[in-house]
Structure 1
């Protein structure tokens, strides 16, 4: 007679729950060449950083379309229109003092004018937040038409842990939200005040991200906000000091719910040279049908920052990790399910989306033009780790839905722990392509092998905060072990199998700390469960 110990029984239960299968076994058998190939191609110099609307961006689209077709999947392009604007000169001045383009300030002028000039009264608008969720309103119906707004990045929770989500950055702290709200006020311009602690990244990241062409969906330009940009805090402090205005005092006042926009009693002039164009770019979509009429969307963006001809030496932002490795993860999952040919309850949609770096534009367009009731969940891949094996997994955004428990079960069955992503102060859940799905009311996560690597190093944090993220240093390295990439693929395969076997429809389980939009794109009350 065999005696089954509790430990053995636990392992058997986890195996049953996760459905350890030949599909997961196939992940273990992926060759080094299979793990490398997509990253190596997408990060090649010939693609010149894969910016949308460029030759390299188009090559990335064609590559993904061909790859999906080679796997026997139905693949199609989803074209959409963007407006692009790029500054060649920028002058921000007050009291006869001029700030330096790129060193002190960057931005985007969103009108098809080769030369421009805006002058307006300067208003400090605090954090630029208005939400009933935390009973916070920095604007208080103040008439701000034609004004130039100075707005803090992040949210009050960073400074007062008892409100908002404490040190965890909420959507209301993100720069893109600040711009959206400023546009609703009728303001002419917004200058976001940059500090590394509040933004979560240094000025070099801002400069690299905003010194090239800025892209917009046409609907986002249907307002009076002509200029949107950033200003370095030391430069702003020096400028305000010319008129004996203490920025720290303004900051202290902005931490109160009683705060109202403050006219600072002077004007700023913003002028420069600008080029503009209208361009077409394309998401690439492939599908494996399921029997339920609903699908799980797997997504990864194929674009990056392109090239900067003004740089000395290396000018190409190759984006090997951001986001070549994530596209590789999605492509390998597509290969595994396509080769298996198994019937699925929930179909799989593979979304290689464009223009993420410009503000999640490709995924926003996809969600806006999809039938939301046909999407069961979104599993997004972003900057997938490429190093040694990890000891755990994370699902950014998982805390909001039942997807987190499913990931925990799958990870445990694969011998991994589960941890929440440590970089919550960076607001990364709102900065990648899972967020448009979540904002549309669809449970969504960013799935990845975790930060607890066997060596004790946190490679993921080093990538985001150590000087590689959004720089020309993000290049393909043939020496990468790619074991954490393999683990991410295996986690996703296990999660897809779990959802298909249980036929569990992911649902929200916690209060959502971001606005949810109805199918017409209008904000509705935040979902509370």
Structure 2
């Protein structure tokens, strides 16, 4: 097969690093070639790997492929004598009741699951239901004392089903001081909505989907929240709502019209909003098949020559969505961009470290995590059960979705301003003739949507960056078009395939070199980067580092 832009291209970068005091400055030539990237992509994103879903033959093929490649590089196992960290998961395959029925206000309405509403449960029970559960409109479903905001104030929702909006009140306000304006806070994430509803004792929680504030279309809800879902297998799980789910905007409009509520979005953004009983009752159920099994993180390391008990941790998730219902004859979610590209990027970085003549002074860890698509579960398990102490972990560099559009002029940092790692990334971007920008679409909350978030939550400074805004050759509009096309027809859909005739792998190589150089600098100095003032993760890191000094 002919492969454009592959056979003759190798990206060269000059990596420079120095220890904190400035001595022992070393120069290293770094080559990451697109032939290697193509080889790995052709395997990991192939139909033979069956969409790389945990608990499937696709997992077995993926983790053993990674193990084989890491062994061949000469890298040590990262978990004692093993390249695997077991991650206990429970798989819940839910079958939704055909409809959600709603009665009250003189009306009887029926909404079709899948098209109008998507429901599921995280309770490990064979059947879960709510029957004639009172519906309560709880605005954005947020309790945020620092903002003086409580959408549950004055109402008891125990045993009831709350209807809440996606994102947070600041979105679309034009006021960057109202929450964080268009930059999504964690209060805007769907995970938070479910967590808070559970804390309030609700029996059910339904999020109103709208494409712009959610950051993805209804098709993503349909594909991501149906079928088999994985959760960490916790022996003592916290309380969770019986029913969790989403409703379309059209469904929401019908409910609010029946309840006589106008401008439901506008009133929810008003400070002092109080939750409203809708005078409606909902019934719905989920039948579950339950399966417990082990998935696996894959981990290798290169031991440091001087400070082996200090760790730079790279991460990328190897999993995707597996096999689903056929669309245009294709039933396999190959996940080429998400995240075979990041997995391959990390493999090439690991190989580059392994081939270095001068090994780094700190240890470098290469962690391929499972079940990101199911809620960042592999990295969550690692964060709860770290193989390397958090206060001896220098930084996390996370790789999730690298550009296949050729070399880029930008380096977009998601979570820009959070930590000093921005400075490391900028220094390497400057050497490649690139400029650094924050995420241009902060409303989508990407900082909370990949595995670096779990490292941040335990205090480890995290970098999540790639070229994603301006093509070196084709400009901004070309990337905007490609990004929208990806979101519309490929993201979490069967169409996310590796297309060697179309993909220009120089962008993946360019980012891999940059992220290698960032990690290599960190691995050859004595300094521990810090979270910036104002970061919500700074207090945890400061606490952990103070314990390290005792």
TM-score by length of 2: 0.86
Work out whether residues 128 and 242 of structure 2, in 8 Å CA contact, stay in contact via their aligned partners in 1: no
Match for residue 280 of structure 1? 294
1:20-59 alignment to 2 at 5 Å?
21-24=27-30, 26-27=31-32, 30=33, 32-59=34-61
Q: Say which is worse superposed, 385-394 or 87-96, in terms of deviation.
A: 87-96
Residue in structure 2 matching 1:190, options 205, 210, 220 = 205
CA shift in 2, pair 1:221/1:266, >3 Å: farther
Q: What are the superposed Cα offsets for residues 266-309 of structure 1, whole Å, 9 maximum, x if unpaired? A: 21111243322222101011111223321111000011111113
CA shift in 2, pair 1:497/1:518, >3 Å: closer
Work out whether residues 360 and 523 of structure 2, in 8 Å CA contact, stay in contact via their aligned partners in 1: yes
Q: Say which is worse superposed, 216-225 or 269-278, in terms of deviation.
A: 216-225
Match for residue 303 of structure 1? 319
Q: What are the superposed Cα offsets for residues 408-430 of structure 1, whole Å, 9 maximum, x if unpaired? A: 11110122222222221211111
How far residue 17 of structure 1 moved from its aligned partner, in angstroms, is 7.8
Distance 1:98 1:374 in 2: 55
CA shift in 2, pair 1:517/1:174, >3 Å: farther
Match for residue 170 of structure 2? 157
Match for residue 272 of structure 2? 258
Match for residue 463 of structure 2? 445
CA shift in 2, pair 1:127/1:178, >3 Å: same
Residue in structure 1 matching 2:153, options 140, 151, 168 = 140
Task: Give unpaired runs (5+ residues) of structure 1.
Answer: 1-12, 522-529
CA shift in 2, pair 1:515/1:376, >3 Å: closer
Distance 1:369 1:112 in 2: 22
CA shift in 2, pair 1:520/1:117, >3 Å: farther
1:67-216 alignment to 2 at 5 Å?
67-75=69-77, 76-90=83-97, 91-95=99-103, 96-119=108-131, 120-140=133-153, 142-162=155-175, 163-216=178-231
Residue in structure 2 matching 1:458, options 475, 479, 482 = 479
How far residue 311 of structure 1 moved from its aligned partner, in angstroms, is 4.3
How far residue 256 of structure 1 moved from its aligned partner, in angstroms, is 2.4
Match for residue 397 of structure 2? 379
Residue in structure 2 matching 1:364, options 375, 380, 385 = 380
1:508-527 alignment to 2 at 5 Å?
508-512=531-535
Does residue 500 (structure 1) correspond to residue 541 (structure 2)? The answer is no
Work out whether residues 439 and 516 of structure 1, in 8 Å CA contact, stay in contact via their aligned partners in 2: no
The CA RMSD measured in Å over matched residues stands at 2.5
Work out whether residues 459 and 537 of structure 2, in 8 Å CA contact, stay in contact via their aligned partners in 1: no
Distance 2:275 2:48 in 1: 49
CA shift in 2, pair 1:178/1:341, >3 Å: farther
How far residue 179 of structure 1 moved from its aligned partner, in angstroms, is 0.9
Distance 2:543 2:229 in 1: 25
Match for residue 4 of structure 1? none
Q: What are the superposed Cα offsets for residues 295-352 of structure 1, whole Å, 9 maximum, x if unpaired? A: 1110000111111136451111100000001001100000000111533233111110
More strand by share: 2
The SS at the match of 1:473 is: coil
The SS at the match of 2:281 is: strand
The SS at the match of 1:486 is: helix
TM-score by length of 1: 0.89
Q: Say which is worse superposed, 196-205 or 443-452, in terms of deviation.
A: 443-452
Task: Give unpaired runs (5+ residues) of structure 2.
Answer: 1-13, 20-24, 78-82, 545-550
Match for residue 510 of structure 2? 487
Distance 1:508 1:378 in 2: 12
CA shift in 2, pair 1:58/1:135, >3 Å: farther
Match for residue 497 of structure 2? 475
Distance 2:508 2:447 in 1: 19
